[in-house]
Amino acid sequence: MLLEISARKPFHCEPCRQPSEENSNTPHHGVVLIAAGAGIFSLVKAEGLPPYPLAEPDYSSKRQLDFSAFEAALSGLDPNRIAVMDTLVAEVTLLELQVLMNNGQFSAEELVTYYVQRIRAYDMDKLNSVLELNPEALAFARDLDVERAAGTVRSPMHGIPVLFKDNIATGEGMHTTAGAWAMRDWQPSRDAFLVSQLREAGAIVLGKTNLSEWANYMDVDMPNGFSVLGGQTRNPYGPYGTLGSSSGSAVAAAANFAAVTVGTETQGSIILPAKINGVVGLKTSRGLVSRDHILPLVDWMDVPGPIGRTVSDVAVMLSAMTDEDEKDLVTFDAVEVAGTDYTQFLVAENAVGKKLGIVVQDNAFIDQMIADFELGEDSASQFRQAMIQSNDKVRMQATPFVDIGIELVEVSAAAMPSTPDLSAFIDYGFRSALDAFLTDLSDEAPVRSLAEIVDINSADSDNRAPYGQGYLESAMKSPLTPDEYAAQVAESMSVADDLGSLFEAYALDVLLSDSQIYAATGFPALTVPAGYGEDGQPEGIILIGDFLGEDNLIIIGYAYEQATQARQMPDLDKTISEIDSMVNR
């Protein structure tokens, strides 16, 4: 039940395009304010916005995938072998892939070829989740196969193909673009620190994933999942949104175009795409994984994190990603857990006795909200009923945790800290961070500033910014001074103390909540598939952990996943046929 409220107090909509639980296809702007669950105001779609799936705009800048380095290998992968690989690889975990490769069922080279074959069959000009393939992937795979044959397996990531979001720098001739035309030719001279770590652990850089351009900060009218170089990313489960900005990373993992992927998040950009595309996504604690050489949005909030089909895969990936990095001094805040093997927390029984907080609207909170919005008698009655139903829904969602043996702790919505309003400072933060990043590149930089990017787009906006570049232009006009920005950041980051106090006051291990309060605090969050709606759209639960509390997130998330077994493979043939029929009619 939704109750539309006429907002009598100022309401600042957040440019991250937070979706509502009720309609998560929704672009952020052009919305009405509603009363939603967990005491949090959410957003629903206003009339007149285009539904998903969206057709490609009429433009000419989309980059085509290059399969030339893989043609010989692909020609040797006949349909019978593909069918065998489908059976062997579908839905298995990274740990199970290691067993299969150790047993000689297939090699890393064949695994790379298999994924490339799937990308060519189901992604190119279809789901649009992959922006570029690494022409050196097969060579790296062969070297790792030689190591395995000689008895050396570096880690559970050995020989595992990984796709990286295309704002994470990768060297060796690949591009890193953030999906933007102005960045189309940048070939970083080195890897981001996290990419180097995964390579050292034996991972294979398979390629780069599409994203919502500039981490979803291009224009209010640009759909989630679109970039001018990658086109419109589409949900592998059907005509639903993909959300953003790590759209391609979530879709590629869900569709089995790679074993695992890496995304980045400012606020919701890993968790929400993973949730709506039916996979597991982990937004890491700030400092746990290095942010080095990643194109920024709001640099003090941005963090990378793993996306996979299972909690097990995310734990394996995370174990290879954490370490101190002198190029990102915030990683020294996580020194106590650097190098942790997170697979040790994949024990469902360890969840018994853990405390899970659920956010409910008690009577005092409901009365206060009614007073704040000056609701009349009839509206107040409807609002109260909606909040009671919301509480029932939250308690129902928590039932599987009770069955596992986890203790539920009801947290008053009044105790939840308010999510900081990014719109007050995101323009300045984006411009400042991006300009600093480009300056640090020196002669390697493809462009020198955000101002230059805006000018380049304006020279051919139909093909370089087909939905406009309103956010970029707005960022150029930010009136904030450096001191004012620093004050805004400090105020937003102080919410971490409030959230930490909440965990302490209620003695929580994990909080079950759709709130994005975790983002500004630097706390971690995990989403795990929870099933599918009546229309087939994937659904998921979101767990928030205490700072550096990834261990508890993995323990509880894994126990939930094992108890529910909610994830199902998408039927890509059916989805692509359905989407084609809708966008071409």
From CA 331, how far away is CA 287, in angstroms rounded?
4
Q: Tell me what pLDDT residue 11 has.
A: 28
- Strands 407-412 and 355-360: what pairing? parallel
From CA 411, how far away is CA 359, in angstroms rounded?
5
Q: Tell me what pLDDT residue 50 has.
A: 65
From CA 92, how far away is CA 156, in angstroms rounded?
13
Q: Tell me what pLDDT residue 51 has.
A: 79
pLDDT greater than 90 at residue 80: yes
- Strands 280-283 and 260-265: what pairing? unpaired
Q: Tell me what pLDDT residue 576 has.
A: 97
Average the pLDDT over each of 23-37, 193-207, 466-480 and give the range with the smallest value: 23-37
Residue ranges matching CATH 3.90.1300.10 in the chain? 68-324
Q: Tell me what pLDDT residue 170 has.
A: 98
Q: Which of 159, 136, 380, 393 is nearest to 259 (CA)?
A: 159
Helix (H, G, I), strand (E, B) or coil at 343: helix
From CA 237, how far away is CA 569, in angstroms rounded?
9
Alpha helix positions (H), 334-478: 363-372, 377-397, 399-404, 426-441, 450-458, 461-464, 470-476
Average the pLDDT over each of 35-44, 68-77, 396-405 and give the range with the smallest value: 35-44
Quick one: tokens of 443? Answer: 């002669």
pLDDT greater than 60 at residue 250: yes
Helix (H, G, I), strand (E, B) or coil at 360: strand
| 153 neighbors 98 (Cβ within 8 angstroms) | yes
Q: Tell me what pLDDT residue 353 has.
A: 98
Q: CB count, 10 Å around CB of 290?
A: 27
Tens digit of each residue's pLDDT (9 = 90 or more) over 208-240: 999 999 999 999 999 999 999 999 999 999 999
Q: Tell me what pLDDT residue 10 has.
A: 31
Quick one: tokens of 179? Answer: 């999906």
Average the pLDDT over each of 19-23, 103-107, 281-285, 483-487 and give the range with the smallest value: 19-23
Confidence of residue 49 (pLDDT cuts 50, 70, 90): very low
Average the pLDDT over each of 47-56, 97-106, 276-285, 480-489 and give the range with the smallest value: 47-56
From CA 83, how far away is CA 116, in angstroms rounded?
15
What is the mean predicted confidence (pLDDT) over 102-126? 98
Q: Give me the count of residues in the chain.
A: 585
The C-alpha angle with vertex 382 and arms to 377 and 388, in degrees rounded to 5, equals: 125
Confidence of residue 585 (pLDDT cuts 50, 70, 90): confident
Confidence of residue 196 (pLDDT cuts 50, 70, 90): very high
Q: Tell me what pLDDT residue 28 has.
A: 34
pLDDT greater than 70 at residue 173: yes
| 492 neighbors 520 (Cβ within 8 angstroms) | yes
What is the mean predicted confidence (pLDDT) over 113-139? 98
Q: What is the dihedral of CA 326, 327, 330, 332, to 10 degrees?
A: -10
From CA 165, how far away is CA 299, in angstroms rounded?
16
Residues 6 or more apart from 496 whose CB is under 8 A from it? 520, 521, 522, 523, 547
Q: Which of 358, 352, 445 is nearest to 404 (CA)?
A: 352
Q: CB count, 10 Å around CB of 98?
A: 21
Q: CB count, 10 Å around CB of 380?
A: 18
What is the mean predicted confidence (pLDDT) over 521-525? 97
What mean pLDDT is reported for the chain? Answer: 91
Q: Tell me what pLDDT residue 20 has.
A: 32
From CA 3, how far away is CA 385, in angstroms rounded?
10
Q: Tell me what pLDDT residue 584 has.
A: 84
Provide the annotated active-site residues. 165, 245, 269
What is the mean predicted confidence (pLDDT) over 445-458? 98
pLDDT greater than 70 at residue 293: yes
What is the mean predicted confidence (pLDDT) over 430-446? 98
Q: Tell me what pLDDT residue 25 has.
A: 34
From CA 119, how far away is CA 101, in angstroms rounded?
21
Cα atoms found within 13 Å of the Cα of residue 516, Cβ hemisphere only = 24
pLDDT greater than 70 at residue 205: yes
pTM of the model: 0.93
Q: Tell me what pLDDT residue 568 has.
A: 98
Q: Tell me what pLDDT residue 14 has.
A: 30
pLDDT greater than 50 at residue 6: no
Helix (H, G, I), strand (E, B) or coil at 373: coil
The C-alpha angle with vertex 52 and arms to 524 and 216, in degrees rounded to 5, equals: 40
What is the mean predicted confidence (pLDDT) over 537-563? 98
CATH class given for the domain over 68-324:
alpha beta
What is the mean predicted confidence (pLDDT) over 544-571? 98
CA-only gyration radius of the chain, Å: 23
